[in-house]
Amino acid sequence: MTDAYSGRCWRFGDDLASDQLIPPQHVFEYDPAVLRRHLLAELRPELSQQAAPGDLVVTGRNFANGSNHSHPFLAMKEMGVGLICASISRGPFRLAVFMGIPLLVAGAEIIAQLGDGDALRVDFATGDIRNESTGRRFTVEPLSPFLLDIIAAGGGLTYARSLLATEGTDHAKR
């Protein structure tokens, strides 16, 4: 990934539960190509077909609450989309980073200015959010450089592999 994403805004509401993102009957499915077909399919059947890398899923508060499943993030990674939400609790936040999904948390008043179908440009390293359809621009707290490194590597395990390749396990000593 680069630090910035440009694409379409896919706008959703508050309290999207993990089980709503991907229905729980797919819990034993781990193929990202299959999972992307189910991501938010009940709310937006066209998402899987039309989402393009660089697009942004934009939601209200409490994204991916409930079951701590990695499936929605596997599907988002397959689509190549980033995330902006009004709030996200610890479990799904960590999962998003581990799976390599770039994300920003923005106030509800900013989310309200990002409409479905708007063209967005989002820099995760600086926290800069531009709505190119309306010309409005917002700044939020950026992702920590640590977490950007993990996401840029493609997630926790690919990050771990590259870390081991360059440093061995010396970093674990203290």
Partner 1 sequence: MPATLAEKILARASGRDRVEPGEVIWVTPDLVTTPEVSFPAYVKRLRDNGIDRFALPERVVVAIDHEVPVHSREGAERNRLTRQLARETGVGHLFDGEGITHPLVIERGLVRPLSFVAAADTHTPSLGGVGALGIPFGIELTMILATGRIWVKVPETVRVEIGGRCPPGVTARDLVLAVMTRIDADLANYRIIELGGDAVAALSIPERMTLCGLCVDMGAKSAVTEVDERCVAFLAERGVADAAPVRSDPGCRYAEVIAFDASTLAPQVSIPPSPTHVRPVTELAHTAIQHAYIGSCASGTLAELSAAADLLEGRRVHADVQMLVIPATRRIYQQAMEQGVLARLSAAGAMVSPPTCGPCFGGLAQLAAGEARISTSTRNDPGRMGSRDATIYLGSALTVAASAVAGRIADPRDFLPAERKDIAP
Residues at the interface with partner 1 (CB under 8 A): 68, 70, 89-91, 94-95, 97-98, 144, 146-147, 150, 156-161, 163-164, 169, 171-174
State the Cα–Cα distance between residues 167 and 1, nearest whole angstrom: 22
Residue 95 vs 120, nearer CB to partner 1: 95
CB of 120 to partner 1, least distance (A): 25
CB of 157 to partner 1, least distance (A): 4
Residue 33 vs 164, nearer CB to partner 1: 164
In 10 A of CB 115, how many CB atoms? Answer: 13
CB of 14 to partner 1, least distance (A): 14
Nearest in space to 73 (alpha carbons), one of 36, 104, 47: 36
| E strands in 96-157 | 103-105, 119-123, 128-131, 136-139
CB of 99 to partner 1, least distance (A): 9
Residue 119 vs 147, nearer CB to partner 1: 147
